[in-house]
Amino acid sequence: MSIKDKNKLVPGQQAPDFTLINQSGTKISLSDFKGKKNVLLVFYPGDNTPGCTRQLCALRDDYHQFQNKDTVIFGINHAESESHQKFIDKHSFPFDLLIDTDKKVSTAYGAIKLFFNKVIINRTVVLINKEGKIIYLKGGLPTDEEILSHF
C-alpha cells in the first residue's frame, strides 16, 4: 500500500477540515466556507516551478469563471510565507497560497507521494461544495474547464 492509498478520498465524502496559515499569516479554515462558498484546493509541489506556475497561472486567468461559480481557490504546499508571497507577486495571483509545512493537510487529502525516499506533495486538485463534500478529485493537471464542469 502506498502512502497515497492510506488516505484515499473519493467524491461524495466529507472533506477533512483543516486550518492553515496563508502567505500573510492569516488563519484560513475550510469550515469558514461551509454553507457560503465552494472551495478549490490545489496541492502543488513547489513555488516557481514550471508545472506549478503553468497550473496556477491558468487558474489566475480563469479566476472570474470560478468566482461566477461562487468558488474560492487556495494553492497549498509546504513552502514558507516569503516564498508564497514572491510567487503571488511575480504572477499576480488573486488567491491565497496556504502553508502546509508539516504536510498534515496534504496527507489527509492523499496529496503526497514518496520520491527518492522523501515525502513530497503530489499535484492534486480537490473541489469541495458548499456543504463540505468533495465533488471532484484528480491528480495531475486537469484543465480548468474539466474542473468547472463538475458544478
Q: Which of 39, 41, 52, 127 is catalytic?
A: 52
* Residue 106 CB partners (closer than 8 Å, separation 6+): 43, 76, 77, 78, 100, 112, 121, 122
Beta pairing, strands 96-99 & 71-77: parallel
Q: What distance in Å separates the CA atoms of residue 130 and residue 34, rounded to the nearest whole number?
A: 5
- 8 Å CB contact between 53 and 22: no
57 flagged as catalytic = no
Beta bridge pairs of residue 94 = none
Q: Which residues are catalytic?
A: 52
